[in-house]
Amino acid sequence: MMRRISLLTTAALMVAASTFVGCSASVELAEEPNTVIFYDSTKTEAEVNWKGENGTLELMNNTNKDIVIFKGATPTKDGILGGIRAGTTKLFDVSDDVDDFPVGGYMILRGVTREEYERNKNTLSQAKMEFSAMATYKANTKYRIAIEADYTGDYGFIVSNTGRVGLELRKDGPEGEKVGYLPPLQVNQYIYTNTTNAITIFPVYVYYSKQTQTITTLKATDMFQSVMVSPRPIAGASQVPTFNFPNDPNATWAAIVGTLKSPVAYITIRNNVMNQSAYVTAGGSMRLFSQSGYDALGSGEQLTYEIEASEFGAPISIVLNYYNGLIKVPVLFDGELTPPIIKNGYDYTISVSCIGAGTKQEDYVAYISESPDARDLSGEIL
């Protein structure tokens, strides 16, 4: 509950504040002169679960603020997934928050600071949403997202997504840091930063197919699809910089769909090697991150990776490193000795097994297979 107390003297402020010593309360000066606002945060402890759970959604809070996480494009009290403390990593169990957890799906995540939640818990539509992302879920499949301090703060800009596919904003390139996420046809969403430094934003359209339970990313292929944004102070601003994606005010959605091509191949790898995780690398040295944000492939785990090839095919050296690179396992088509030819837009499946003692490269096999056809979303993205 929130109450306002008008201050008559400095001494009165000190006395009022001292009455809350030993309680969970925060104090903030209001916009009105000589007014202070007290927030009773004990209720937040009861309303929000801050404890770790045995779940599949992993969040890393790389900020110095406690964050309350919501599901859905519009935060509500019923949509609270829980809270994550500053500088910690936490697993969230979302199995009881969705109806299709066994087969998989996706959800929109929103986040506000604990203080912002306490100020606006009864009017969440007015809360300052500093975190936005898309996360997938499926039984026995983890997904990792980081909340970065660079994209929380008192500065920002407004973005609208005029497309019918979810939009991920990336900093300085299609593979850059995730700045934020907008659902299809989302307009006037605030994106926050901690400085006024300009950022070049690249659009990455992210589509989750319920038919195949796969994520398809459609990335910018030239610089003219990017937008340089200029964050400015938000509080009390009469005008906030506003930007639109796609970056073509005259384009129709039908024309946009015609240009959306996948500039990557989708590589799903299963690690059948007992008791050993592996780094998936390009050429044996550059580590690749999975779609779900992990840098290593666990024993018995299956993850999907995106690798840039070409429309007509290019030889790509995919190597799995075990024992920190002492064992390097090249991925090959069965019966071939050269790197596989990989084509953008196609799905590939790799199975890695150990058929010996596991102390030399010859004890491992990693075979790849290609889907008959490239992914075709023309019937889904309308």
Confidence of residue 217 (pLDDT cuts 50, 70, 90): confident
- Around Cβ 134, how many Cβ atoms within 10 Å? 20
**Tokens encoding 246:** 């796609």
Measure CA of the first residue to CA of the last residue in the chain; give whole Å.
Answer: 46
pLDDT of residue 213 exceeding 70, the answer is yes
Q: Looking at per-residue confidence, does 207 or 67 come out higher? A: 67
pLDDT value of position 251:
60
Mean pLDDT across the chain: 85
Mean pLDDT of 285-302: 93
Mean pLDDT of 200-216: 85
pLDDT value of position 156:
95
pLDDT value of position 255:
63
pLDDT of residue 368 exceeding 90, the answer is yes
pLDDT value of position 12:
39
pLDDT value of position 382:
52
- Around Cβ 194, how many Cβ atoms within 10 Å? 17
Pairing of strands 57-62, 143-148: parallel
Contacts of 368 (CB under 8 A, 6+ apart): 267, 318, 331, 332, 333, 340, 348, 349, 350
pLDDT value of position 180:
94
pLDDT value of position 378:
63
| Structure confidence by residue, pLDDT tens digits, 70-118 | 999 889 999 999 999 999 999 999 999 999 999 899 999 999 999 999 9
pLDDT value of position 253:
60
The answer to whether 347 and 268 are in contact (CB under 8 A) is yes
Residue holding tokens 């946009």? 256
Q: Looking at per-residue confidence, does 43 or 172 come out higher? A: 172
Which one is the CATH code of 265-370: 2.40.128, 3.30.70, 2.120.10, 2.60.40? 2.60.40
Parse the chain into domains and list their residue ranges: 2-40, 45-259, 265-370
Name which of 80-94, 102-116, 235-249, 285-299 the model is least confident about: 235-249
pLDDT value of position 37:
42
Confidence of residue 134 (pLDDT cuts 50, 70, 90): very high
Confidence of residue 256 (pLDDT cuts 50, 70, 90): low
pLDDT of residue 15 exceeding 60, the answer is no
- Say how far apart CA 346 and CA 340 lie, in whole Å: 13
Share of the chain above pLDDT 90, in %: 64
